[in-house]
Amino acid sequence: MRSAWASVCLLLAAHILWAQQPAAGPEAILQHAIALHQAGDLDGAIRGYREYLDAQPDSVEARSNLGAALARAGRYDEAIAEYDRALAKSPENPALLLNLGLAYYKTGRPAEAAARFERAASLAPQFKDQVTLLLASCYNSLGKYKQAIALLAPLEQEKSADQGFDYLYGTALIADGQDASGAAVIDRILSRGDSAEGRLLQGTLKLKAHDIDGALADLEKSIALNGRLPGAHARLGELLLSKGESDRARTAFGQELALDPDEFVSNLNMGVLAKKDQEYAEARRYFERALKARPNDPGVRYQMANVDLATGNPDQARKTLEALIGESPDFLEAHATLATVYYRLDRSADGDRERAIAQKLTDQRDAEQTGAKAR
Amino acid sequence: MRRWLAASGLCVLGGGWWLVASGEGPEPRRPHFTDIASKSNFAYRTDNSFTGRKYFPQAMCGGVAAFDFDNDGRMDLFFTNGAKLPEMEKTDPRFYNCLLRNRGDGTFEDVTAHAGLLGKDLGFSFGVAAGDYDNDGFEDLFVCNAGRNVLYHNNGDGTFTDVTERSGIGGKPKDVLSVAAAWFDYDNDGKLDLIVSNYTVWTPQTDKICGSNGREYYCHPRVYTNVAHRLYHNLGNGRFEDVTETSGFGKELGKGMGIAIADFNGDGYMDVFVANDTVRNFLFINQKNGTFKESGFEWGVAYDESGNAGSSMGADAKDYDNDGWPDIFYNNLKGQIWGLFHNEGGKYMKYASGVSRVSRLSVRSSGWSNGFVDYNNDGWKDMYSANGEIDNLGEISRQRDTMFENVDGKEFRDVSGLLGADFNHAGFQRGSAFVDLNNDGFPDLVVTSLDEKPRILLNSADNGNHWLLVNTIGRRSNRDGIGAVLKLTTGSGRTLYNHVTTSVGFMSSSDKRVHFGLGAEKAIASLEIRWPSGIVQTLKKVRADQILTVTEPGR
């Protein structure tokens, strides 16, 4: 799916390319670079754009094309730098924003991508169609499922035949706890024939219902149908963890990370597994990657605080936990760990206070327990 | 089994081949276990009255106690059993509790009826704790139940008398499930007190039904309320006072499972660790004035390493690395990590499941009763767990027990598969006790499993290691010597630590004699005993390979 959407990037780049006017001198260099770009000689094109930009450093078009060539060559960080320089000259350029968003998207930085997509759509409503699915994908990656649903729900009738739409929409609905609606979307997907996406969503739903064997069959089928479907290996890893199969879970998360080194769920779980094994440096590396995908994610920051506490840095743990509680006063685990941190720092009164809060939150959670839940 | 490696890893000690256990060296000789239960004629099977309908307490059934009720020097066995549900009565002999007398020839005689321990008048029984509460030299029994708990006084003639009512120990809030208990002397007055871990308030009529997709499963514990554990102070003359509220125990509500007793901070007073199911664990630190302070947060054992309350089940507290400080081991369910916490000099506990490899070894098992036991007498306490899923839904619900062998006090490795077919029986294991049934100095295992006869697993005792069993008899201290801390120094200067307790694992009570494996060493330079009374007794040049009875000196 990402590769299909990535073509938007190239189309926009081509649009900009066709807008160039041939000219003598530096313009000839630019035209040659464009020709190389179109011919697929990306290294030659990049050299040409840079040569032109040495003479015409303020050319937004040439810098944007350079960014596009770099992105197409997979050199996303350099592309992002060039797009940013172009945007400094033309900050309200929706095409540039869209291309920059795509570069961020490709590098697994959905927060940055979403910000550019939102801005591009607000500046150029004609981009809204192109942006909607990308933005929804970003929201799903960021765990902002309600925002994804708000974006997609109005389009359900219009996109009822769009497999990509259904997959994103179903993912958001199930993650948001709207299982019945999610199941309807799954039915729609599978009515078109067996698919990796449909199986992934169905396996996810079964996993939520504690139908472990059913979920396992669906997830394995999903991977058999498309071993490169984003998220499938990660979900399988989560299922294997619930079965106590931590070694196989590690393998599954590793396969997900081979496809996308910044995938959130796998980095988080690999970090937690490393932390349980007291491989704290390794845990920290995974958590940092998870934070790249979801900056400021409270769950990851909480895990980092636990690593700090375990590695003899209770004061850093305290700072993180206090910040988390400032943002989310009902974060039970953060209160509980902060109590221990305070006791470790010989701040007994603060420890007693946090302990009491943790107990109160525990009691509230227990009172809300409905009963229809397995261990 | 790995092939034994080159001779470079071999060394000669004590006239025999001794194989180095660690690293890439050759495998050590290790004993295995053989189930001898079938040699005896007894009817007991662990019966939780499962007929399809899933009543919440059914998962917890089959407590076991190893104790010498007739003082013949051979350890006997007592098993608790369920009750018919929803009647909650032992309507049929299949639900009776069971006392097996050790004949000393590898067989056991069912003497339950003669002893008066059938428990016909009891409801669903869970845990059992053995201890000589009246210091008369005969071990008594406390049995935890849904319904009334019961204290059986050992009459010394092979019979027991239900003294619950006149002892004052039976009081508890209505319909509370009491699942485990431990004898200990919290005020060092020479009389054993009792801590009872309670789970929730439940009756068959209030049982909740949980399930999805037309399939019933045992409810998540959070649908049931938390309750206080109860502390009973021994007043002497067979009387107890419920001091739950005044001692501080009443302030903390949990879902109690296993109890471990140890002096965690080395102040000479016994502390209490209670493993709670889906509730944070409790560590009650003795304030030396009749009260306790729940200090799980301070000590870092309230939650797992991620701040989550797991399904803690069995508990034991022993010094696994022989640094002189008792550590904590609790197990829990599959997908969680069993908790191994290292005591940092009596100040707090440090999560050690990762560095010890327990995190990787334990994640596939659902553990119930557990404990530290030096099964191979190498001087390092190993980690045993009786395993089995809580429910019968998944493909690997039946599980085998695990033995994680202690490698030099630093890490553990799973040697379960090397301990014989009987050890590796797959089932829904629940209770377990460590006991030397044939007095050969090697710990044996007794394990209950739902809907099965218990396994009585005899240790083959054939690796040539030496040992010492110490039977403590208190005079100023409680007669069992529970709480006494023992430090053994071998001839080579190696120091080993252990302490007297019968409360090990879940719902179970182990051999009170203190066990030391000595490895290849035959010489014991000294044995120091710090009695609960404060008296320190030192024995020099103790012979190995004996059961040594030590009586506390007078002042």
CB spacing of B351 vs A371 below 8 angstroms: no
Most A-contacting residue of B54, B202, B222 (CB-CB within 10 A), to test interface: B222
Chain B contact for A356, CB < 8 A? Answer: no
CB spacing of A243 vs B334 below 8 angstroms: yes
- Out of B297, B306, B365, closest to residue A303 by CB: B306
Distance CA A272, CA A270 (A): 5
CA B456 to chain A, closest CA, distance in angstroms equals 29
CA B72 to chain A, closest CA, distance in angstroms equals 45
> Residue A301: what are its φ and ψ, rounded to 5°?
-65, -35
Q: Report CA-CA distances (Å) from B234 to B261, B283, B464.
A: 17, 21, 43
CB-facing half-sphere around the CA of B81: CA atoms within 13 A: 30
What's the pLDDT score for residue A15?
Answer: 41
CB spacing of B353 vs A276 below 8 angstroms: yes
- Out of B307, B353, B390, closest to residue A306 by CB: B307
CA B390 to chain A, closest CA, distance in angstroms equals 9
Residue whose C-alpha is closest to residue B54's, from B364, B311, B393, B310: B393
CA B217 to chain A, closest CA, distance in angstroms equals 7
CA A360 to chain B, closest CA, distance in angstroms equals 12
Note the pLDDT tens digit of each residue in B197-220: 999 999 999 999 888 777 888 998
- Residue B420 binned pLDDT confidence (cut-offs 50, 70, 90): very high
How many interchain CB pairs under 8 A, A with B? 112
- Out of A211, A276, A366, closest to residue B222 by CB: A366
Contact status, residue B111 vs residue B122, Cβ threshold 8 Å: no
Question: Residue B416, SS3?
Answer: helix
- Out of B213, B307, B351, closest to residue A211 by CB: B213
CB spacing of A272 vs B306 below 8 angstroms: yes
Chain Cα centroid distance, residue B466: 23
What's the pLDDT score for residue A16?
Answer: 44
The DSSP output letter for B2 is P
Contact status, residue B125 vs residue B114, Cβ threshold 8 Å: no
CB spacing of A333 vs B306 below 8 angstroms: yes
- Search chain A and give the residue with CA nearest B297: A340
CA A309 to chain B, closest CA, distance in angstroms equals 10
Helix axes A163-175, A179-191, angle to 10 degrees: 160
CB spacing of B298 vs A351 below 8 angstroms: yes
B41 has a pLDDT exceeding 90? yes
A212 to chain B: which residues are within 8 Å by CB?
A: 394
- Out of A244, A310, A375, closest to residue B351 by CB: A310
CB spacing of B364 vs A244 below 8 angstroms: yes
Distance CA A285, CA A274 (A): 10
> Residue B268: what are its φ and ψ, rounded to 5°?
90, 0
What's the pLDDT score for residue B6?
Answer: 30
CA B307 to chain A, closest CA, distance in angstroms equals 5
CB spacing of B219 vs A371 below 8 angstroms: yes
| Strand ranges (E), B270-326 | 271-276, 282-286, 292-294, 315-318
CB spacing of A340 vs B217 below 8 angstroms: no
Distance CA A12, CA A147 (A): 26
Rg (CA), chain B: 22
- CB count, 10 Å around CB of B231? 26
Most A-contacting residue of B305, B353, B410 (CB-CB within 10 A), to test interface: B305
Residue ranges for chain A with pLDDT beneath 50: 1-23, 372
CA A333 to chain B, closest CA, distance in angstroms equals 5
Q: Summarize the confidence of residues B417-442 as an average pLDDT.
A: 97
| Order of all β-strands in the sheet with B411-414 | B367-373, B382-387, B402-407, B411-414
Chain B contact for A333, CB < 8 A? Answer: yes
Distance CA B212, CA A373 (A): 8
CB spacing of B391 vs A374 below 8 angstroms: yes
Residue % of chain B over a pLDDT of 90: 88
What's the pLDDT score for residue B373?
Answer: 98
- CB count, 10 Å around CB of B456? 27
Distance CA B508, CA B369 (A): 7
- Out of B211, B360, B394, closest to residue A277 by CB: B360
B15 has a pLDDT exceeding 80? no
B277 has a pLDDT exceeding 50? yes
DSSP line for B67-114: E-TT-SSS-EEEE----BTTTTB--SGGG--EEEEE-SSS-EEE-HHH
- Residue B222 binned pLDDT confidence (cut-offs 50, 70, 90): confident
Whole-number average pLDDT of chain B: 93
What's the pLDDT score for residue B13?
Answer: 32
What's the pLDDT score for residue A210?
Answer: 80
Note the pLDDT tens digit of each residue in B359-396: 999 988 999 999 999 999 999 999 999 999 988 766 67
- Out of A212, A277, A365, closest to residue B394 by CB: A212
CA A194 to chain B, closest CA, distance in angstroms equals 23
Most A-contacting residue of B363, B389, B395 (CB-CB within 10 A), to test interface: B363
Chain B contact for A210, CB < 8 A? Answer: yes
Residue whose C-alpha is closest to residue B231's, from B261, B203, B201, B202: B261
Helix axes A60-72, A42-55, angle to 10 degrees: 160
- CB count, 10 Å around CB of B22? 12
Distance CA B87, CA B123 (A): 9
CA A111 to chain B, closest CA, distance in angstroms equals 26
Can you tell me which residue has the tokens 């005591």?
A: B343
Chain B contact for A255, CB < 8 A? Answer: no
Residue % of chain B over a pLDDT of 70: 94
CA A201 to chain B, closest CA, distance in angstroms equals 18
Note the pLDDT tens digit of each residue in B453-511: 999 999 999 999 999 999 999 999 999 999 999 999 999 999 999 999 999 999 999 99
Most B-contacting residue of A276, A342, A368 (CB-CB within 10 A), to test interface: A276
ipTM summary value: 0.86
Whole-prediction pTM = 0.86
> Residue B13: what are its φ and ψ, rounded to 5°?
-135, 140
Chain B contact for A245, CB < 8 A? Answer: yes
Contact status, residue B457 vs residue B537, Cβ threshold 8 Å: no
What's the pLDDT score for residue B331?
Answer: 97
CB spacing of B222 vs A373 below 8 angstroms: yes
CB spacing of A310 vs B305 below 8 angstroms: yes
Distance CA A145, CA A149 (A): 6
- Out of B278, B308, B335, closest to residue A333 by CB: B308
B357 to chain A: which residues are within 8 Å by CB?
A: 277
- Search chain B and give the residue with CA nearest A301: B306
CB spacing of A244 vs B335 below 8 angstroms: yes
SS (H, E, C) A235-284: HHHHHHHHCCCHHHHHHHHHHHHHHCCCCHHHHHHHHHHHHHCCCHHHHH
